[in-house]
Structure 1
Amino acid sequence: MDAYSQFYSDNKDRLYAYLLRMTGDAPLAVDLVQDSFVRYLKRYGCQDAGSRALLFTIARNAALDAIRKRKAVSAEVDDCIDPGHTPEEQVIQRQTVSRLLKAIDQLEPQDRELISLVATADLTYREIAGIFNISEANVKVRVHRARLKLRDIMA
């Protein structure tokens, strides 16, 4: 497997999860994942193993462009449900995911992005700081505050 294929395999699911939370639209998130990898490959080629932070920056910008063009629709909760569970467990999972996504939607857009990156992208605070062009300490403070807001909303 070449370096780019490995980079794609390692990051596609995380990128999709981030974009799904950011846009709230599963088909749009799939399109944005593809678009982000195409833009990355076209602009930066197959150099080394790739930069996850750069990929997420490209994806973030593409998502912001798409959101500007059309309003986000609520997330596809069924995409987050594990089919291996009993029907009762699936209902509980569906309700929990729905409640969490609604709570995340109530956050400010930047808080929503930060929470999504921390939860799904497996990026370091330094890499997230590079995406937002802020200091690493600022990222830590904002993530902490966003988590507190999310906890209050969920309570």
Structure 2
Amino acid sequence: MNGFRPRLVFSRPAPTPVAPDQAERFRLLVLPHLDAAYSYARYLARDPAAAEDIVQDAFLRAFRAFASCRGNEKAWLLTIVRNCFLDWTRANRRAPPDIEAETVDGEHPETILQRRQDAEAVRATVEALPEPFREALVLRELEELPYKDIAALTGAPIGTVMSRLARARAMLATMLLAREDEGSAA
């Protein structure tokens, strides 16, 4: 064909290769927080499948931006997870599916059922909290982040974080007691 050779044109530049020592540091410092990232994403999204997508996107972003991490890898990663969740909510707003409780082996079936019901009641109650309160509660109580890190992650002053936590705990207690009263009345 008269010597014409097509030239490949890429819309994006090829990714910058990551140094092997950076990849190893990422694996050692950030990967241990995978469960925390998933848990946080699951509470934010209220959907296990969406949480997986959010965490996958967050880890990809974190890997690419690992050189910008300046200590406290867990808070840094959870900030990325939060940003990915916000991007996800803008892109897909959909109703979450039902969440299945995990089974516990070696226990009486009634105990397992009661534990599942209790866990689902607490999970549903936490998920029913308004987002800023739910987020603060999950970060403090489940992920055990200090107030300072929660404030940095959410962009709220420490006083606001403390107020949100106090209000979230009060709302959670009120809602759980109301559920308990409804259950005993039935």
TM-superposed CA distance for 1:115, in Å, is 1.3
2:14 matched residue in structure 1: none
Unaligned residue ranges in structure 1 (runs of 5+): none
Tell me how many residue pairs correspond in the alignment. 153
The residue matched to 1:77 in structure 2 has which SS?
Answer: coil
Question: Counterpart in 1 of 2:136?
Answer: 114
Q: Which gives a bigger RCO, structure 1 or 2 (Cα 8 Å, sep 6+)?
A: 1
Of the three residues 46, 52, 76, the one matched with 1:54 is 76
State whether structure 2 residue 96 is matched by structure 1 residue 73.
yes
Q: Which has the larger radius of gyration?
A: 2
2:64 to 42, 49, 60: 42
Aligned AA (1:59)? V
* Partner of residue 83 from structure 1, selected from 104, 108, 113: 104
Q: CA RMSD in A?
A: 2.2
Runs of 4+ in 1 over 3 A off after TM superposition: 45-50
In structure 2, relative to structure 1, the CA distance for the partners of 1:57 and 1:15 (3 Å cut) is same
Q: CA deviation at 1:75?
A: 5.0
Compute the TM-score of the two structures, normalised by the length of structure 1.
0.86
Pair 1:2-2:27 in alignment = no
Q: CA deviation at 1:46?
A: 8.4
**Structure 2 portions without partners, runs of 5+:** 1-22, 178-186
Aligned residue identity for 1:76: I
Larger % of helix: which?
Answer: 1
Residue equivalent to 1:22 = 44
TM-score (norm 2): 0.73
1:15-41 deviation digits (Å, cap 9, x = unpaired): 111111111111111221121111011
Q: After the TM superposition, which of the residue ranges 10-19 and 43-52 deviates more from structure 2? A: 43-52
State the Cα distance separating 1:63 from its structure 2 match: 1.1
Letter of the 1:53 counterpart? A
